[in-house]
């Protein structure tokens, strides 16, 4: 039951990994407006989705009470760790890619926003389904 609930989140995480492996664009120098670039918005969006999917998966599974009752914090920590780890993997293992601290910030803000969206949509419902 646990793995069937978590499978969409794992698939989404793999999709993010594939996106991070795409060849880079030559962005040149940094400016303040880079904070609001399409690249940063995409990082924000995919990590918002990841944390939202993780929370829903943890809340809906019935195998592990620990994950169900601490879904929000676990989803946040996993999304934050994954976002930072991906930046390291990009720098270390993907040809022509570098770690960008602004990407890590966008990933982190997106993960937090996913939790906010969950709270807006579901409130304090338990979401447990059999």
Q: Any idea where the domains of the chain sit in the sequence?
A: 2-17+36-122
pLDDT for res 24: 62
Which H helix or E strand runs over 114? Answer: helix 101-122
Q: Kindly report the number of other CB atoms within 10 A of residue 29's CB atom.
A: 5
pTM score of the predicted model: 0.79
CA 54 to chain CA centroid, Å, is 9
**pLDDT the model gives residue 55:** 93
Tens of pLDDT, residues 26-78: 555 555 555 557 888 999 999 999 999 999 999 988 888 888 889 999 999 99
């Amino acid at each position: 039951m646990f793995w069937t609930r978590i499978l969409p989140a794992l698939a989404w995480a793999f999709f993010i990994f594939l996106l991070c492996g795409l060849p880079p664009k030559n962005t040149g120098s940094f400016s303040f407006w880079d904070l609001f670039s399409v690249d940063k918005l995409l990082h924000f969006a995919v990590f918002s989705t990841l944390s939202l999917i993780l929370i829903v998966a943890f809340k809906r599974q019935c195998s592990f009470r620990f994950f169900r009752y601490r879904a929000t914090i676990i989803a946040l920590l996993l999304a934050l760790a994954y976002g930072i780890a991906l930046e390291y993997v990009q720098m270390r293992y993907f040809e022509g890619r570098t770690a960008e601290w602004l990407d890590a910030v966008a990933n982190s803000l997106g993960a937090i926003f996913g939790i906010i969206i969950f709270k807006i949509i579901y409130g304090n419902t338990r979401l447990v389904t059999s």
